[in-house]
Chains A and B, each alone.
Chain A
Amino acid sequence: MAKFGRLIDTKRCMGCRSCVAACAVENHFTPDAQWNAMIEYEVGTYPEVHKIYNTMNCMHCEKPSCKAVCDKIGVKAISKNEYGVVLIDYKKCIGCGYCAAVCPYGVPQMNTEVKPLYPGKGAQGMETIAYADRHPTHQKKAKTAEKCTFCWHKLEKAIKDGKTDRIGKDQDYTPACDLVCPTQARWFGDLDDPKSEIAMRIKATNAVQLKTQFGNSPQVFYTLDKGAQS
């Protein structure tokens, strides 16, 4: 069974935010609940300073504290499937915000209101799909938690089509953010397969997980530029 993960190379990222825009369009962006954000900060001292660009999305942790706390209070709206993807069931979510409180990465976002991507301009792009016809991860509800799904609707399609080997390669089967990166700073694939491109790149670039002190074992790895925080 594949365990999906992502590699983000901060040495290659130039902060263009294509990944942020692609996610917004693909996943019915709501302003209150961003699934992918670009964080930038300066490192070094003058005259040797440079910027680090670090996109943050769900880390799909092997030990997700969001799921643990959701289970603990008996709501059980968060699941981690056999492919390592952590998902929120909007129908079960009670909007308590505990998941957001315990995530060290600030990932779960409380969606206060479902708004269109372009307010006042009607439904655009993916928004034209009728609510009932949307993938469950896109049937958003106000006052519930939501977050990056690794574009589960695409991964699910790959599994259904028997094309898991094309994940990370084909447009239909690869998360939107990873597809559009113009600098090839993002890689997606099977972490468990040592011969996969992502596994080899993680090894070759000495990529690391962020904030390991929390013990969540994220499935998103970062190749850190000089001075970048982990």
Chain B
Amino acid sequence: MKALITSLALGLAIAMTPAYGADAAAKPKMKITGKPSMAVEGRFHKLHKLQEQLDCKDCHKKVQKDILYLRKDDRMPPKMDEVGQSDRKGCLTCHVPGYVPDGPHSFWGV
């Protein structure tokens, strides 16, 4: 029985390997170069759009206003969904809290 379970688990692991491989291969391996910049055509946006294949609306979407956010102007009520603003909670989808040395998504909470 133990041998059967072991072989089933092993078989399942082998069967799943190409799927993960294919998923990883779907993302183009490209070297994003240039000076760090938040400009629309700058490195930050290139990295997220071209390498990570995110759509503009993945970050710049209308979301529930994040009240606890320091803004340049002291307006009431604060407007989170203005052009250029994005909800930082969305970043946590990839940038998980916790330290991953030299990990691709390690900068949150390092």
Q: Do A and B bind each other?
A: yes
- Residues in chain A within 8 A of chain B (CB atoms): 17, 20, 31-34, 37-41, 54, 56-57, 63, 65, 67-69, 72-73, 75, 94, 96-98, 100-107, 109, 210-211, 213-217, 229-230
Given the known interface contacts A213-B97, A214-B88, the answer about A106 and B69 at a Cβ–Cβ threshold of 8 Å is yes
Interface of B is mostly: loop
Q: A210 contacts which chain B residues (CB < 8 A)?
A: 68
- Apart from A34-B70, A67-B110, A72-B107, what are 5 other A-B pairs with CB-CB below 8 Å? A17-B74, A54-B67, A65-B110, A94-B35, A217-B109
A68 near B110 with CB under 8 A, answer yes
Contact count A vs B, C-beta below 8 Å: 101
Q: Which residues of B contact A20 (CB under 8 A)?
A: 74
Q: How far is the CB of B105 from chain A (nearest CB, A)?
A: 11
Please pick, from B35, B67, B76, B110, the residue contacting A96 in the complex, using a CB distance under 8 A. B35
Q: Which residue of B lies closest to A108 (CB)?
A: B70
**Total chain B interface residues with beta-carbon distance under 8 A:** 29
- Residue-wise, chain B 48-79 has the 8 Å CB interface mask toward A (1 for contact) of 00000000000000000001111111101110
A105 touches B69 (CB 8 A): yes
With A96-B35, A98-B44 already in contact, the answer to whether A37 and B92 are too (CB < 8 A) is no
Q: How far is the CA of A10 from the CA of B107 in the complex (A)?
A: 30
A109–B74 contact, CB under 8 A? no
With A94-B36, A213-B97 known as contacts, the answer to whether A229 contacts B110 (CB < 8 A) is no
Given the complex, which residues of B lie within 8 Å of A103, measured CB to CB? 88
Q: Give the A-binding residues of B (Cβ under 8 A).
A: 35-38, 44, 67-74, 76-78, 88-89, 91-92, 95, 97-99, 106-110
21 A-B pairs with CB atoms under 8 Å apart are A17-B74, A33-B72, A34-B71, A34-B73, A34-B74, A38-B74, A40-B76, A56-B68, A63-B99, A68-B107, A68-B109, A69-B107, A75-B36, A96-B35, A97-B44, A101-B44, A102-B91, A102-B95, A106-B70, A215-B108, A229-B68
